[in-house]
Amino acid sequence: MTLTAAGRSIAGTTRFIRYAFMPNRLQYCGGDDNRALFEYALADVREAPLVRMLRKFSGAVPYLVLIAQRNGIADPFDERVVEAYWIGNELLERVEAHELYDSLRERFRKELSPRVMERVSGKAPAGARPHHSFHVFDVWRHTERMSGDVLATLDSCRISWGTVRSVEGGELLVERSPLLLREGKLALGEPQTERVTRLVEGKGFATDARPGDVVSVHWGWACEVLDERQRRALERYTQHHIRLANETI
Amino acid sequence: MCQAIPRRVLEVAPGSVRAEIDGEPRWVRAAAHLDDVKVGDYVVVYAGVALEAIDPEEAEERLGFLRELEAMFPEEEPA
B77 pLDDT band, cuts 50/70/90, is: low
Q: How many CB pairs under 8 A join A and B?
A: 114
Would you say residue A223 has pLDDT above 50? yes
For residues B27 and B78, the answer to whether their CB atoms sit within 8 Å is no
Residue A57 has pLDDT above 60, yes or no: yes
Q: State residue A150's pLDDT score.
A: 76
For residue B53, the chain A residues in CB contact (below 8 A) are none
Q: What pLDDT, on a 0 to 100 scale, did the predictor assign at position A4?
A: 42
CA distance to A23, A199, A206, A219, B7, per residue, from A171 (Å): 18, 7, 10, 13, 35
* Minimum-distance CB partner of A58 among B31, B47, B70: B70
Most trustworthy range by pLDDT among A26-30, A243-247, B56-60: A243-247
Q: Which residues of A197-213 are buried (b: 16+ CB within 10 A; e: fewer)?
A: bbbbeeebbbeebeeeb
Give me the pLDDT at residue B70, please. 65
Predicted pLDDT of residue B51: 84
pLDDT given for residue A39 in this prediction: 96
**pLDDT higher than threshold 50 for residue A6:** no
Across chain A, what does the average pLDDT equal? 86
Which residues in chain B are closer than 8 Å to A7, comparing Cβ atoms? none
pLDDT for the residue numbered A5: 38
For residues A95 and A106, give the distance between their C-alpha atoms in angstroms, rounded to a whole number. 17
A142–B4 C-beta distance less than 8 A: yes
The reported pLDDT for the residue numbered B43 is 92
Residues 6+ apart with CB under 8 A from A190: A177
CB distance B18 to B25 below 8 Å: yes
Q: What is the predicted pLDDT for the residue at A96?
A: 86
Question: Is the pLDDT reported for residue A46 higher than 70?
Answer: yes
pLDDT at A12: 93
ipTM of the complex: 0.71
pLDDT at A10: 57
Helix, strand, or coil (residue B2): coil
Query: What pLDDT shows up at residue A2?
Result: 44
- Quick check: A142 pLDDT over 60? no
Q: How close are the terminal C-alpha atoms of chain A, in Å?
A: 41
Mean pLDDT across chain B: 81
Select the residue of A32, A116, A135 nearest B65 (Cβ to Cβ): A116
CA of A46 to nearest chain B CA: how many angstroms apart?
Answer: 11
What is the C-alpha to C-alpha distance for residues A19 and B58, in angstroms, rounded to an integer?
Answer: 31
The least confident of A98-112, A130-144, A195-209, A215-229 is A98-112
Contact predicate A172/A198, CB 8 Å: yes
Q: What is the pLDDT of residue A141?
A: 58
Nearest partner of A135 among A184, A63, A213, judged by Cα: A63
Contact indicator for B20, B10 with CB cutoff of 8 Å: yes
Is pTM, for the whole model, over 0.80?
yes
Element spanning A222, H or E: strand A221-226
Q: Does A129 have pLDDT greater than 80?
A: yes
Contact residues, chain B, for A120 at CB < 8 Å: 65
Among A94, A55, A53, A105, CA closest to A72: A94
pLDDT class of A124 with cuts at 50, 70, 90:
confident
Mean pLDDT computed over A155-181 = 96
- CA nearest neighbour of A9 among A86, A80, A85, A66: A80
